[in-house]
């Protein structure tokens, strides 16, 4: 028994030195299971390998989520896709596979405030992370300020190289704040660097004809749109009703129903408990 314990301790230490912590944690329990079920050596090793792989995937997912800065709870579990038109639902289902990353295809979600653009973009980012892809979520204004700071410090190429490590960058609310010339230039530089190289997901309240508010110069605006749209999937949510407005309407209806019930109750009480 002592020899077996020593061997287990030695094997556990060896597996940990080899960075096989998942195997180190379960090999003894799986060995008992293998003996009880008369599993072959190969089947036992396969179970060990699967456990190690699953643990590494969980750790990688957790690491990617921390680095992504994705807003919490913005997944497709918490979004009602059924309220979208059927065509939009199909587009989103196809995007969930992440295949658009292979061709450096961009995604543009355009719609009025409150329709769920940011939620959809974040949920797509979450799906990509589950598949092992590094993703960055950032308000466009934050990214622009970071690029401006890097440019002032003469390290813009290094910052662009850092961003290039992300398979997908999600720019939330492009055009929400109007850019000055310097801000416009670094944003255009970023989009040019990603063009046909890595994907971006963009949410915006503006249709493309209004992007001149972002880039000011007509030629720059056309060039930016060309880089974004050339390989892209457009999620047109302009005709989708705001879910905030829908929730407000539903809440108002519930209040009205509650008020009607409150008014009716005294009459019901008299009818039930009054004199016979």
End of a domain among 66, 98, 122?
66
- What pLDDT score was predicted for residue 123? 98
- What pLDDT score was predicted for residue 127? 98
The answer to whether 213 touches 175, Cβ cutoff 8 Å, is yes
Q: Are residues 97 and 146 in the same domain?
A: yes
- What pLDDT score was predicted for residue 276? 46
- What pLDDT score was predicted for residue 211? 87
pTM as predicted: 0.80
- Evaluated on CA atoms 173, 210, 190, 101, the torsion sign reads positive
The rounded distance, in Å, linking the Cα atoms of 219 and 2 is: 79
How many structural domains does the chain have? 3
What are the backbone angles phi and psi of residue 154, rounded to the nearest 5°? Answer: 60, 35
The low-confidence residues of the chain, meaning pLDDT below 70, are 1-2, 176-178, 243-276
- What pLDDT score was predicted for residue 243? 67
The domain in which residue 269 lies consists of: 242-276
Q: Are residues 96 and 210 in the same domain?
A: yes
Is residue 71 a part of any domain in this protein?
A: no
Q: Are residues 115 and 217 in the same domain?
A: yes
């Amino acid at each position: 028994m002592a020899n077996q314990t020593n061997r287990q301790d030695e094997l556990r230490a060896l597996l940990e030195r080899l960075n096989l912590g998942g195997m180190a944690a379960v090999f003894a329990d799986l060995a008992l299971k293998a003996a009880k079920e008369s599993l072959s050596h190969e089947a036992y090793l396969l179970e060990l390998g699967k456990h190690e792989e699953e643990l590494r995937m969980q750790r990688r997912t957790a690491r990617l989520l921390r680095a992504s800065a994705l807003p919490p709870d913005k997944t497709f579990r918490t979004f009602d896709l059924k309220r979208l038109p059927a065509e939009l639902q199909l587009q989103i289902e196809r995007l969930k596979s992440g295949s658009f990353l292979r061709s450096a295809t961009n995604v543009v979600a355009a719609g009025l405030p409150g329709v769920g653009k940011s939620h959809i973009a974040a949920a797509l980012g979450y799906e990509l992370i589950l598949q092992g892809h590094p993703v960055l979520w950032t308000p466009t204004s934050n990214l622009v300020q970071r690029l401006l700071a890097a440019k002032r410090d003469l390290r813009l190429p290094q910052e662009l190289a850092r961003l290039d490590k992300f398979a997908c960058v999600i720019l939330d609310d492009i055009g929400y704040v109007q850019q000055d010339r310097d801000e416009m230039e670094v944003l255009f530089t970023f989009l040019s660097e990603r063009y046909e190289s890595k994907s971006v997901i963009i949410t915006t309240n503006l249709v493309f004809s209004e992007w001149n508010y972002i880039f000011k110069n007509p030629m720059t605006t056309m060039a930016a749109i060309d880089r974004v749209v050339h390989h892209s999937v457009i999620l047109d949510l302009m005709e989708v009703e705001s879910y905030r407005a829908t929730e407000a309407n539903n809440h108002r209806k519930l209040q009205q129903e509650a008020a009607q019930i409150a008014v009716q109750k005294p009459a019901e009480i008299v009818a039930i408990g009054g004199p016979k």
